[in-house]
Amino acid sequence: MQNMTRREFTKNSALMGAGLAASNFVAFGGTRSARNADISVFIPLPIQIVIDDVGWWSGEDGHKSQQPFRTGISRNHVPADYQAIVDLGTKLGVRPQAATILCEWDRENILREVPTITWMREKWDNSKWVGPWLDEAADIIRNNQNHYELTLHGVGHEYWQDENMTRAEWADSSGQMRPLDQVELHLDYFEKLLDQNQLGPFPTSFVPTAFLHGFGLTGNHQISMAEVVKKRGIDYINTPFNDMYNAEGAQFGLFGIDSGVITIDRGEDLFDWNDFGERPSGVLAGPTCGLHWPNLLHEDPLGNAEIVDAWVNLLKPYNDKPETILAENSSLFRNQLVHYVCTKVQIRKDKFEIDFLETNTLNDQLSNKQLTLKIESERALTFNSEDVTLSKLKTAQGKDSYLYTLVIDNAKDHDKAVVKFETL
């Protein structure tokens, strides 16, 4: 959860007509799309859903009484709130990241051992939240792995110094990493709580709490937060660059590589962190569709589906536009985002040329050699290439045009590849 308000929202709404809120995501004349008289080729911007502050059972915002910012809703959380995430993923064919806080999953009060990790310090007592709902929610998470990614958010969300709650768990309010021994301890206990509840292996993705994070080294540390979490298997950090210390260090605009860990700009969310029970509206401003758990839920858990369906209706069109695509999972999202930023495409007569030169310098960030293109044409087309393998051809026929979704596999690591097209 965050401190900020919807500060850019009204500014962005002026750009809604472009299909995306920020003009730099629409790219005619750039390198990520090309067109001639009757054909346009796009490297679509991938979109991924990231949901913060999943894991609380209490909905109470406790920050005025030295307790954490939780979700700030007027009821407790229930297993149906986890099912809402799965339903969103299933209906859209994607795998939302659930950035998770685990302290209220502590069945054995082990967090007494780490005074900085909760507001009760050595007197931590979580018995109130130990009940059958833990197993019910854990079952939902375990049984729906294709549509639910458990992402590291934190243990207690904040950092307790003596009796005082301070923001936030992993970094202070200026983005400097907390003392290394404490960070390691908090990560150890996150893992212990995963094990206690059999929630699976340590996550591979991370959303810093309160978006307090530094890119690269901070303070007097000899190691960056990215490198600390990389040792635990994290290879992907998502946080708004507006709030990130040393955001200018991010080398590729929409993302940076920090100790080998891709760090992606979350940009602006459509909702404030505690907007609850409202149907979403608006236009995404970038590749991350960031929300907080209450934004997906209804005051009556039986009504969650209403809000989920409103999100489905808002997001589904991004799969149908030539400029964007909903990424199936984090791994495919990262691949496509690197291509979106680094791969270039040009049309020449009856072929288009794809330039992988810059992308190939980031090969260690890619889980495969595939890139998705979308091609809009007034004519029905066929495609072939001697350089790359073309697969999964999907065609959508509009009133006056065809939209092809083409998966390009650059298995031979070419720096440049040619794809020919001809009229059917």
Closest separation between CB of residue 10 and Zn ion, Å?
24
CA nearest neighbour of 298 among 99, 62, 47, 59: 59
Query: Which of 12, 52, 298, 419 is in the footprint of Zn ion by CB under 5 A?
Result: 52
CB of 350 to Zn ion, least distance (A): 51
Query: Minimum distance between the CB of residue 157 and Zn ion, rounded to whole angstroms?
Result: 6
How near is the Cβ of 70 to Zn ion at its closest, in Å? 9
| Smallest separation (angstroms) from Zn ion to the CB of 125 | 23
Residue at 13: amino acid letter: S
Window of 44-52, 179-187, 331-339, 382-390 that interacts with Zn ion by CB under 5 A: 44-52
Interatomic CA distance for residues 275 and 296, integer angstroms: 9
- Contact pattern for Zn ion over residues 208 through 237, marking x by CB under 5 A: -x----------------------------
Decide whether 152 or 381 has the Cβ nearer to Zn ion: 152
Closest by CA to 209, choosing from 250, 248, 178, 247, is 178
Name which of 52 and 104 has its Cβ closer to Zn ion: 52
Burial category of 48 from C-beta neighbours within 10 Å (exposed 0-12, middle 13-18, buried 19 and up): buried
Instruction: Select the span of 45-53, 119-127, 333-341, 350-358 touching Zn ion (CB under 5 A).
Output: 45-53
Which of 54/283 has CB closer to Zn ion?
54
The one among 1, 80, 111, 141 contacting Zn ion by CB under 5 A: 1
Binding window for Zn ion (CB under 5 A); candidates: 30-38, 203-211, 238-246, 307-315? 203-211
- State which of residues 33, 39, 48, 53 lies at the interface with Zn ion (CB under 5 A): 53
- Cβ neighbors of 1 (< 8 A, separation 6 or more) are 52, 53, 69, 70, 71, 72, 157, 209, 210, 273, 274, 292
Examine residue 73 and tell whether it contacts Zn ion (CB under 5 A). no
R_g over Cα of the chain: 22
From the list 50, 51, 72, the residue with the least C-alpha distance to 63 is: 72
User: Closest approach of Cβ 37 to Zn ion, in Å?
Assistant: 49
**In this complex, which beta carbon is closest to Zn ion, that of residue 209 or of residue 410?**
209
Stretch that binds Zn ion, among 159-167, 202-210, 231-239, 393-401 (CB under 5 A): 202-210
In the complex, minimum distance from the CB of residue 207 to Zn ion, in angstroms, rounded to a whole number: 7
- Using the contact rule CB under 5 A, the part of the chain among 119-127, 187-195, 207-215, 262-270 near Zn ion is 207-215
Residue nearest to Zn ion (CB): 1
Shortest gap between Cβ of 61 and Zn ion (angstroms)?
A: 11
Going from the C-alpha of 414 to that of each of 354, 357, 389, 411, the distances in angstroms are 10, 8, 12, 8
Least separation, in Å, of the C-beta of 42 and Zn ion? 34
Nearest to 102 by CA among 175, 189, 170: 189
Task: Return the number of the residue (52 or 235) whose C-beta is nearest Zn ion.
Answer: 52
User: Please, what is the Cα angle at 307 between 54 and 276, to 5 degrees?
Assistant: 60
Coil, helix or strand at residue 256: strand
Q: Which range, of 7-15, 47-55, 335-343, 357-365, touches Zn ion by CB under 5 A? A: 47-55
Cβ at position 52, least distance to Zn ion in Å: 4
* CA 104 – CA 94 distance, rounded (Å): 27
> How far apart, in whole angstroms, are the C-alpha atoms of residue 243 and residue 167?
13
Closest CA to 234 of 321, 170, 278: 170
Q: Which is nearer to Zn ion, 51 or 80 (CB)?
A: 51
Contact set for Zn ion, span 385-414 (CB under 5 A) = none
What does the alpha-carbon distance between residue 88 and residue 305 come to, in Å, rounded to a whole number?
9
Compute the distance between CA of residue 286 and CA of residue 293 in angstroms, rounded to an integer.
Answer: 19
List of residues contacting Zn ion (CB under 5 A)? 1, 52-53, 209
